[in-house]
Every structure is written in C-alpha cells, then in structure tokens.
Structure 1
Amino acid sequence: MQSLLQNEDSQTCPQGCCPTSLFNSSPLSHIKTTSKPRNSSSESRHSFAATTASSIFPNTKFTNHESLPSLQESFSEFSKVFPQYSETEKVDRLRGNEYYHLSFSNQSCLDYIGIGLFSYYQRHQHHEASKIQLASSSSTPQTQTPQSPNFSDIPFFSISYKTGNLKTLLLHGGQESEFESAMRRRIMGFLNISESDYFMVFTANRTSAFKHVADSYPFQSCKKLLTVYDYESEAVEAMTSCSEKRGARAMSAEFSWPRLRLQSTKLRKMIVSKKKKKKKRGLFVFPLHSRVTGARYPYLWMSTAQENGWHVLIDACALGPKDMDSFGLSLFRPDFLICSFYKVFGENPSGFGCLFVKKTAISILESSSCAGIVNLVPERQLLQQVSEDSSGYNDVKIDQKCSTSTFQEQELSSLSSFSGRIQIPQSVKVEGQLSELQMTVVPEEPKAPEGSGTAESQQNKNVKDSEDGSFSIECRCLDQVDSLGLTMVTNRTRYLINWLVNSMLKLKHPNAEGVPLVKIYGPKIRFDRGPALAFNVFDWKGEKVEPVLVQKLADRSNISLSYGFLHHIWFADKYAEEKGRVLQTKEGRGQGVTNKKKKDRDNMGVTVVTAALSFLANFEDVYKVWAFVARFLDADFVEKERWRYTALNQKRIEV
C-alpha cells in the first residue's frame, strides 16, 4: 500500500483541517487517485500560497528596522492582498465591545493557544453585580467593614481536587453539582460530542488528563505507546514516563529537517502490523496539528491506526474555535479525546482540562488511584465563604498578564484553584515585579451588547434556568465563536499568519551575504497551516539569539511570546554537517553532540520562539511582532536594551 502522505495537499478541506476523504465512501479511497492532477480545491490552495508570496512586499527586503512601512501603510497593502479580510470585521467589533482590555493595556497576547469560556465584558459586569449584592446583603455598616477583597479578581469558578478511581467514576458516575452538569453540557454541545457516546471528566489541566489515561490504559497487554509531536510537551512527557513505568514501549514519530515534515514512511511502519491476526497493539496519541509550528497532519492516520488494532487518543487542545465542526468525530470515533479551556483571553488563562472517554472503551481500562480529577466550585460559594469571614484571608498570587511559558508547553489551566478563605491583595508579585491589581479604567462604559441589561441582570443571565428547566450557564466567549462560525474564524487567522510569515522572511541583515534575520521552522506560507509560528532570530554573524532573551525583550514591548523545544528531528545524509550545528539540549548545552543512544537523541533538539494567534488577533498584533523582530537588524539592539534595563533600576537580563 502506498504512503499516506504522497499528496498531503489533496487531503484537506478548504478550511485546511478536514480530509477530503471524509466525504468519500472509503477512508483510504484517495490512494487510487494520488497520481491524478490537482483538483480545484488543491489548485486554489497552491494559488493562495503563490499569490501571497509574490504580492506581499514584492521584490523587497528590509535591512533596517526604521525602513519598515508604518502600521497604516502595511494594513493598506495587506487589505489589497487579502480583500476578504474586511468580511471578518465582526471580530473587530466583538473585540472592541467585549475584550476592550486588550486595547487599553496595549498588550498583544500571542503566548498561548486554546479556547476561552467567558468574555472580559461579561466578567466585569458579573463582578460589579457581585459587589452590589454583597454590599446590600451585609448588615454591618459600611464604615465598620474590614478591608475586603477585590472581587473583580475572583474568577467565575474555582476547582477543588478530589481523589478517585477513573474507571469507577466512568462506570458508576460521580456526584455532580448543577453547575458542573451545566458546564459539561455546554462544552459537549460546543464540541459536538454526544453524551450517549462519550463520558466527560473535568481534570486540573491538560497534563492531568494525559496522565489519567496513562495510569488506566492496559499497557501490560497492549504494549506500545506511539506519539506524534514535533515539540516537547509536558503532558506527553508525563504520559510517556508513566506508561514506561507500567511496562509500555514508547515510540515517537520523526520529522525531517529542515521543513519538519512528518516522516510518513517511518510512521507507517510503526503503525501497520505485519501479522495477519490483528490484536490490540497499544495507544496511538495524535494531535490534529502542532501547537508550536502550526503544521497540520492528515486525519487518515487515525483510520490507519484503528484498522491496525490501535486505540486512539486525539489531542484537541491546539484546535481553534469551531475546528471540531470539521473534525468528523462520527467517522473516526477515537477512544479518548482531550481538550482544555481557559477563562478569559488575555487576562485569566486558568481553567481546566477535559477528558472524554468513549463509553465502549471504558471496559478496557484498569483501576488506578490517581489525583487530578476535579470539581468545579461556583463563584457564589467563594463569595459566601469570603463574606462569612473577611478578616483572615490567605494570600493568593494572581497573574494579570498573559501566561508566561517554560521550555515545555504552557499549562493553560494550571493557575487555577482558590480554596478556603481568600484574600486578593492590593498588590502582588507579577513575574518578579510589584504590580498594582486594578481593573482597567474605561473612560466611557462601552455599549452593552443587545440583551445584556444592567450589571445585576447580567449576573442573573450568567447562571439561569434553561427553557427545559435545567440549570444553564452563559459562556459568552463560546456563544460568540458559535455566532462567528468556522469559515470566518479560520479565514481571519489564515490571512494574518501567512502575512506574518512572509513579512518575517523579508528581513535581511545589511551585509554582503544578506543573512536572513529569521529562520522559520515547519510550514511557511501555506493555505492550510495552523495559526502558530515557530522561529528564531539570528545576528549578522549567523549566531542564534536565545529564545528566552527574545521573549523577555518582546514582553517589554507589550508583546507576549513564548518559547518551546522542537525534537524528534530526522536529518538526511546531506544535512549531516548541519545536524551538528543545529541540535542542542533544551538548556543550550551539548551543541553538536550526536550520541547514538536513544535517550540522548531524544534530549536533543532546537529551542525556538513561538507565537500563536487567537481568533481575536488583529493586524496590529502581527505588525507589532514584525516591527519588534526587525529591531534585531540593529547589531547593537540587545546591548542597548541591556543598558536601558539597568538604567531603569530593574534586574539586568542574563544571556
């Protein structure tokens, strides 16, 4: 049988996320037609890439950051290349009305990916109502009330940990509050997951969900664990470590240098069984696309794995809003699916993970005692606890900025959990600096969206009874994404990410060789690339500027970037010399080491800067990133920033 990836371009739908074979009678029917000319859909994708590359700053290179066109000039040219971008204007209006804190803080949040639950406007209105209700219910005169917490900083809900056995919980159910039941129904409806087919469990974060599967999967009889990740993931590393302790043989797909394309031949050999008798081979863990490089992978790998006796776990954490609409869940029906949600974009990245287990797969699981399953605690219970005793609060650290990162991926939901009696201090430590916790002062209250009403009525709307009498919760961000639809959201991020990629490649050092300032890893200009970008900045000598330094300098320009670690990279013989220069440990040590031991090879890779676009990203966000990176064209930029940092009596950046 031929390779699954002979013609990758022909296997994605116009949205770039759904294989065309979804609409064929056989999931492998494309194999018979791979030698035929491109179809119209494939041709349009190819035309998109060619037109984008030739139309954005044609025959131009920028060697000085001061020579860059202005934001207005760049947007004018951008609009000419992508005239359809104007059709996404609804997103800009939504951002201005419901997420106005992004404009007032002037912060471009490009350091994490995922889906939020609530809007900033909803959160602000809800907590204004909470303060009013608390004040009116208190019998203590206002002048005698002790210092109280800033309720604007209490989230809609918290999480509380509970111990338990995953299999027992799945078989017999657990005690679930109305709040949790309503949140579960809303999320499953948003993801188009049927309650008759799947059981859902709330977990503390993404890593907890992966570890639960590893602790419960029968690796004694289904020996193998096969993962497909081009970057180091804390969740996957935890799963791998746990499964190996339980007797599993862990394997990883590889990605070929320099474009980091999936090594399809090698992956197929690991998946396909040579024996005629099919038995359960193990667990196949498949992300729908890379949350670091933006590479998308054909869904047909799931079908191939299932046909060859693998159980399949789908990692949907990097999915954009509404991507599940084109996933074809009813066709692939994975045994496990994991995703995560945060609370409010750009301000509160805490949240929870979601583990979905197909009901027919519960019987294969083994009993295991592991932590990480959580309950959702409604805010009204927290408010009640605070009002009962406002004099003995415990300090809580709150991060008002976008999430920071580690060499591993961001754990979007690990900042959660208020417990016991709570104090929100007037000032807290934020990334080593003292920062005042204050709500953004809005000169004029933005016009309330139709039907939102007053603060008190808004709170009543957030938690209410639905028409059928069941308890329901308004998740305003999810509602907004539903109203925008898959096409609008996908097109908007497609135009923005491809403009950024193309513009980055136009930056060249002003020397005779014209050394590129930026190297991009993974897909470059592509119709179906994801809204994530992995890159590095190089000085005029060709030496890499460490990603952690780039991130810190970007943060001082109100741009939140992240950094990650690419690994499982395969080098062909013609790149053998380059391999020694490129690979290093994630700590930056051992550059050039080519030890043949598997453990040592797995620890080698490439540290990179990453940027991720949410559905709320706009042109100004990507322009700011481009203009910031262009400043490295100045050979003295880093040194100037060091002196400036010291002059401001702040901690000096260590390289």
Structure 2
Amino acid sequence: MLVLINKYLSRSKNPAAGDDGEMPTPPANGAERERDYMCISGCVPVRVKRAPVIATTTITTTARTSRHNFVKSAASGLFPGAQFTNHESLPALEEAYSEFAAAFPQYAGLAQADAIRDGEYQHLDRHVCLDYTGINLFSHAQMNSSVPSTSASPPGSSGAWQPPFFDIAYKSTSLRSQVQCGDVASASGEGGIGGAVTRRVMASLNIPEDEYAMVCTANRTTAFRLLAESYSFHSHGKRLLTVYDYESEAAGAMAESARRRGAEVMSATFAWPGMRVHAGDLRKKLVRGRRRGHRGLFVFPLVSRMTGARYPYLWMSAAQEHGWHVALDACALGTKDLDTLGLSLLRPDFIVCNFFKVFGENPSGFAGLFVKKASLAALERSVIARSIGVVSIVPARRWSLHDAGYSTELDHSRSFADPAEDLDLTSSFSGPLSGTLIALSLRNVPEMDAAEENGHTPEIREADSPPATDKHPMPPPPPAEEKEMEVECRGLDHADALGLIAIGNRLRCISNWLVVAMQKLRHPQSEHGKPLVRVYGPRVKFERGPSVAFNVYDWKGEKVAPALVQKLADRHNISLTCGFLRNIWFADRYDADRAAHLEHMGGGGGKRKDTGGGGEMGIYVVNASLGFLSNFEDAYRLWAFVAKFLDADFVEKERWRYTALNQKTVEV
C-alpha cells in the first residue's frame, strides 16, 4: 500500500498543481479509478476492495456530503444575518449554546468529555486555559487526591505512588547512546518509574516499543537541539528543511545548531491568506540537492500550532521518497492524533511530543523524543549533545527539615502565569502549582543511584533484600514481567476513553464556531461596519486544527498590540499566547495585503512598522489553542472578552480600573 501511495506522491513537476495549493490528490482516470480509491479525512488515499459501483459511490458521496454540510451549517447557521456592534448585545451563554448545538448536532453526542471535565478538572471553570499545547498526563483530581507526607514512604508501601508522582534528573549522555540503552534500568532509577511512564505514554500514543525508543528531554526546545546536534548534518552537504508558519523557539534552536554544523537551512512558505503550504515551492526544495543517499532532515508538523492550518500526510511520504529523514513535530497535535492510519503507514524517523502534568494547573513536565531504531545510523555520538538536556524520570523527592537542616518543599500559591510553548526546566519547575508540594530534583549525577543520593530513600523502590550468605544464597531475580511497575495517568486514560474521533469532532465544532463568532463582531462607528477581528489561516473548514490566530483592530483600523490583548485577557481569567507569523508568500493579487499587514520582527505587534527597517517580515498575532478538555463555554468567554474592544474606551477604562485598585499598570 505504501508503494502505491508513493506512486502518486512523486509529482514534483505536475503542472496541474497551483503554486498556492495543497499537495494534489491522486489523479482520477475515469470512473474506474474513482472506484478504486477513497480519501479518508486527514489521512491518505487508500485502495479499497472492488465493490459494486453503487455501494462505493454511496460511501464517497456520503463523506463529501457530510463535510460540505458541516461547512455550510457552520458558515450560515450561526447567528444568520447578525452583526454585533456592542458587547452588551451579545446573546447570553444559554442562547448562544442553543444556536451552537443546532448548527453542530454531532456535539450533543460528546457529553462524556464534559462529564470528565466536571469530575476531574473542576479548576478549569475558574480560568479559561487556551495557551496549552501538548499532552496531559494526570488529572487535577488525581494530583490533589492525597496530600503527600513530609517523610519518605516506607519501601514498597501502597501509598508510594502519590502526588507529585515523579521528578526529572539530568544525565550526561548522547542521544545515540541513550537509544541503544533503551529503557533498561539504570543507576538513576529510570528502570522503575521511568520505564513505567515510558510504557504508558507509548501505549497511549500507539507508538510500538519494538520499533521506537523514547528519550526524555527537559522540554521541546531541548529535544530539537539534541536532534540537531546528533544528526549527521556535516556529511555530504545535508540540509534541514522545516515547515513552520510562525516563529518557533524550538525550530530556531534546531536551525542554529544545523547551520553551525554546516547544514543548509531551508523553510517552507505559506500562501496568503489561507496559510496553506506553498506546494510548488516545497516540492522544489524537496528535490534539491544530492541524488543518492539522504538529502537531510525534513521537520514537519501535521498542524500549525498558531493558525490551525493542517498539512497533508502526503508531504511526509514525498520527503521519504526523495531521500529525506523525517522528524514529525507532534507537539501541537491532539492527544490521540498520533493514533491514525496515516502514521501507521508513514513511520517518521523521529517524533517529538511534549508532556505536562496537569492541564491548566501544572505545566511542568518533559518532552519525548522518539527515535526509530532502524534510523539509528543517522545519529552520531556528539560531545555537545551530552550536555544539552537528556533527563531521567525519577521518584519524587520530599526532603524534610531533618535532611541537611533545610526543606525543599515548596508551597506555591495559585497563579496563572503564561506557560510558554517551550517550558524551561533548567533551574526549576515553572508555572502554577496550586499548592501541590513539588520537590525539585534537577541533578546532573548520572553515575549516582537516585535511591541513595543524600541518604534518601525514594518513594518507589523494591524492598531491600537480605544480604547473601552461604546458608542463604541470593535468590534468583524474578521474571521481568513481575518487576514492571504500572502507573496511573488519568489524563491519558481520559483521552483514551474518548478516542480520536470524538476528540476531533469536539474540537472541530468549537474552533469553527469561534471563527464564525469572531467575524460577527463589527465596529459601530464605521460606515460599512469594519470588522473588529482579523482571523489568519483557515476560516470555516472541516479539517482545520484547534488553534486560532487573530488580531483585534480599533475603530480607526489600527491593530491593538497582541501583547496588550494577552495581558487584558489574563486579567479577565483567560490565558492566551502571542506569536509571529512568518514565511508568508503573497501572490501578485495580494500586494495590497502585503503592504497593509507585514511588520518587522521585534516591532512588538503594535502599529505597523516602516518596512524600510531591518529584520524578518511577518505578522504578530494573538493565539488561542483548544485542548480536548476545552468546552463551548471557554470559546464563548473568549468571544465575550474580545467583544469588549467594541467599546472605543475599553483599554483606557482597564488602565484606570487597575490604577484605582492600586495595582501596577504594565506599559506595553
């Protein structure tokens, strides 16, 4: 089947493909070819068994009709003909939900997700979290189900598996060596809790342990740097080709390392206004370079973390066919998006995911770099890579006042700091901890047994065995299956229970409603009703991702600085992020948009900077990212907040209100 797919992917010189179009679908040669293939949404063309013409046509027509009806219902069924020029004129939450449920009847069948949120994540009702990307390990209820004691649990006790469950410890090793070691128990205790967490994660992501090895790193940026420092860029002029429509710290760190090691760095471009991959440009870059062997590393996210634009799996197959190693950036994918037919057929050489402990509460965690064992030859033992940030998952530490005369137990008050896209754990866990006692154990002691450091007994360990004597020889070790520890990750359990289809439908409904609702906001002062919000990337679309990039404009048509929108949103208990769209390609017919929207990186996203300056050109935007626990009320609260900018004095009122409350006004 993969050979068949690749046959239709090698179309680098197909004149039928537009410069701003997506990767073209397999050509149809009459009715017979149409019967042989059906296209599964978000996946790849698949050959189906021969069937009667009527039956096969019915399946294809039903899928197309379903997608068409979804878009039509979303575009015309929400507030038909309505425009909102005052935030006080917005429909109430109940009325808006009634309209939403009528336009998206499939959402009513997804009540299980709301039940999970109500029972396990009640903290999300107080604060709207639209700034998370990654995979949630534990639930809020699980993390707060018991208060950890200040003393170490007895060895082998049933209460050992308690919050905060694990810490991370730095280790000095190369990526290649770590892959070769696998998940065998090491001196740092990784074989116990570390192996259990690894097995649970890989099972949830449907990544086979016999095919891939999982290496834990401190964060997403570290994972990309580690891969760049370990990949054999220096040999035979290999290249790095990335597909990002926004400024990514992780991709930037990777590009810097690749350039230093002699690689040519290239980026895909994205066609305005839909921010789709510029297919003609990317095809040319895929076929450039050496004819034999591997051309280099192709870094590909299936969905933009900023705009929600989705990219076909076919690009991965095209890259593999033209001799590229493929690294899949799965950090912006949904919790179950890796469990798809496309990835079961097109196995990338590397996969990067990031994991955090609790959605909306505790973003500390780690990143996972999955290396295909068959691709190990592409990695080198790098001295620099040994100090980048490979980590071990170790039992959590709780040092009391009796240990070295001080305590490292930290009781953090609740706050909602912005968890950045790439969490920096080099000095401490960052982000809100909600009173959870987190003991930091970031230690660079790869040779020291984590169970014995500082004389501390870990929470999770096997009971000590009596010393061997002549009369009592050491018993043989138990079978491997008896030594395996199991962990309970209720965040992963909840995603597994919902499944890929339910999560995808839920996010599809909410994100498309949000896009339509944003476009209904119009300034009252303008003659023709100037829009309050500009959405970048795909608008109403069946396959759009769960992220929305937008900007707010005042009644004079000037953009409100994204950083200011983010700060004001946080004051209204809504967490958003900001980003910089880049690598944008404008066709000639969009010259006016190029002049009106582009600004220099470093301008801060306020008034458009003079294009005569230096620096890369792009667009600063506000971003809202939905997760599988997001619900309709989250989207409605964001919509209601953005509508407040219809009041021309809203920003000034907010400044005066916080000054009156004796709070420091933050200048932007």
> Is TM (by shorter chain) over 0.5?
yes
Q: Deviations over 1:367-401 (max 9, x none)?
A: 1122210011212xx12x33642851358595744
Pairwise CA distance, 1:310: 0.7
Residue matched to 1:447 = none
Within a 5 Å distance, the mapping from 1:599-638 to structure 2 comes to 603-638=616-651
**1:17 is matched with which residue?**
42
Judged with a 3 Å threshold, the aligned counterparts in structure 2 of structure 1 residues 122 and 553 are, in CA distance, closer, same or farther, namely same
My pick for the range that moved more, 460-469 or 202-211, is 460-469
The alpha-carbon deviation at position 334 of structure 1 amounts to 1.1
Deviation at 1:573, TM superposition (A): 2.2
The CA distance in 2 between the partners of 1:55 and 1:430, in whole Å, is 40
The aligned counterpart of 2:63 is 41
C-alpha contact (below 8 Å) 1:16/1:527 kept by paired residues: no
- Cα distance in 2 between the residues matched to 1:84 and 1:417: 46
Gaps of 5+ in 2: 1-10, 27-36, 50-58, 155-159, 438-458, 464-478
**SS of the residue aligned with 1:473?**
coil
Q: What is the Cα-based RMSD across aligned positions, in Å?
A: 3.3
Q: 1:321·1:615 contact (CA, 8 Å) conserved in 2?
A: yes
Consecutive unaligned residues in structure 1, runs of 5 or more? 26-36, 138-150, 420-428, 440-459
Secondary structure of the 2:339 match is helix
Contact 2:510 2:631 in 1 (8 A): yes
Is 1:374 the equivalent of 2:391? yes
Give the TM-score normalised by structure 2: 0.80
Change in 2 beyond 3 A, CA 1:508/1:38: farther
Change (3 A) 1:258 1:489: same
Q: Secondary structure at the match of 1:644?
A: helix
Q: Helix, strand or coil for the counterpart of 1:101?
A: helix
Identity of aligned residues (%): 49
Q: Give the match for residue 146 of structure 1.
A: none
Q: Does 1:545 align with 2:560?
A: yes
Q: Deviations over 1:274-326 (max 9, x none)?
A: 87x43311110000100111110000001111111111111111110211111
Shift of the alpha carbon at 1:438? 8.4
Instruction: Report the AA paired with residue 527 of structure 1.
Output: F
Q: Which residue of 1 aligns with 2:91?
A: 69
Change (3 A) 1:301 1:373: same
* CA deviations over 1:68-89 (Å, ceiling 9, x no partner): 0101111111111122212111
Task: Name the SS for the 2:659 alignment partner.
Answer: helix
Find the residue that maps to 1:386 and give its secondary structure.
coil
Partner of 1:52: 74
Worse-superposed segment, 356-365 or 559-568: 356-365
Matches within 5 A, 1:257-406: 257-273=272-288, 277-369=291-383, 370=385, 371-379=388-396, 382-383=397-398, 385-386=399-400, 388-389=402-403, 391-394=405-408, 398=412, 400-404=414-418
Q: Which one is further off, 320-329 or 518-527?
A: 320-329
Q: 2:664 aligns to what?
A: 651
Shift of 1:23: 5.0
- 1:239 corresponds to which residue? 254
Structure 1 residue 593 corresponds to structure 2 residue 602: no
TM-score scaled to structure 1, two decimals? 0.82
In 2: Cα distance, 1:9 partner to 1:642 partner: 51
1:162 to 151, 171, 192: 171
Query: Structure 1 320/283 Cα, relative in aligned 2: closer, same or farther at 3 Å?
Result: same
In structure 2, the residue matched to 1:32 is: none
Note if contact 1:22-1:328 (Cα within 8 Å) is conserved in structure 2: no
- Report the alpha carbon displacement of residue 344 of structure 1 after superposing the two structures with TM: 0.5
Distance of 1:641 and 1:237 partners within structure 2: 36
Deviations 1:115-137, CA, capped at 9 Å, x for gaps: 11011111111x32x33x84998
CA distance in 2, matches of 1:270, 1:124: 50
Match of 1:497 among 480, 497, 511: 511
Q: Distance in 2 between matches of 1:13 and 1:540?
A: 48
Does the 8 Å contact 1:225/1:249 carry over to 2? yes
What's the CA shift for 1:93? 1.1
Q: Hey, what does 1:255 align to over in structure 2?
A: 270
SS at the partner of 2:664? coil
Q: Is the 8 A contact 1:56 1:77 kept in 2?
A: yes
Asked if 1:123 is matched to 2:143, the reply is yes
Give the corresponding residue for 1:523: 538
Quote how far apart the aligned CAs of 1:628 are: 0.4
Contact preservation (8 Å) 1:200, 1:357:
yes
Q: How far has the Cα of 1:226 moved from its partner?
A: 0.4
Q: Distance in 2 between matches of 1:468 and 1:22?
A: 42
Q: What is the deviation of 1:258?
A: 2.0
Q: Distance in 1 between matches of 2:221 and 2:368?
A: 10
**Given residue 143 of structure 2, which amino acid in structure 1 is its aligned partner?**
R
Residues 266-275 or 361-370, more deviating: 266-275
Quote how far apart the aligned CAs of 1:259 are.
Answer: 2.0
Query: Given residue 619 of structure 2, which amino acid in structure 1 is its aligned partner?
Result: V
Counterparts of 2:568 and 2:577, CA distance in 1 = 12
Q: Structure 1 residues 153 and 184 mapped into 2: Cα distance closer, same or farther (>3 Å)?
A: closer
Please give the secondary structure, in 2, of the residue aligned with 1:563. strand
Q: Please give the alpha-carbon distance, in whole angstroms, between the structure 2 residues aligned to 1:153 and 1:561.
A: 31
How far apart, in 1, do the equivalents of 2:167 and 2:47 lie? 42
Measure, in 2, the Cα distance between the counterparts of 1:136 and 1:355: 32
Counterpart-to-counterpart distance in 2, 1:638 and 1:41: 46
Post-superposition CA distance 1:194-228 (Å, at most 9, x none): 11111110100111110111001111224211000
Q: Give the superposition deviation at 1:436.
A: 8.9
How many positions carry a matched residue from both structures?
Answer: 580
1:610 Cα deviation after fit: 0.5
Following superposition, the deviation at residue 24 of structure 1 comes to: 6.4
Q: Could you say which residue in structure 2 is the equivalent of 1:642? A: 655
Contact 1:159 1:377 in 2 (8 A): yes
**Which residue, 414, 418, 421 being the options, matches 2:424?**
414
State the Cα distance separating 1:9 from its structure 2 match.
Answer: 9.4
Out of 544, 556, 561, the residue aligned to residue 571 of structure 2 is 556
Question: Which residue number corresponds to residue 584 of structure 1?
Answer: 599
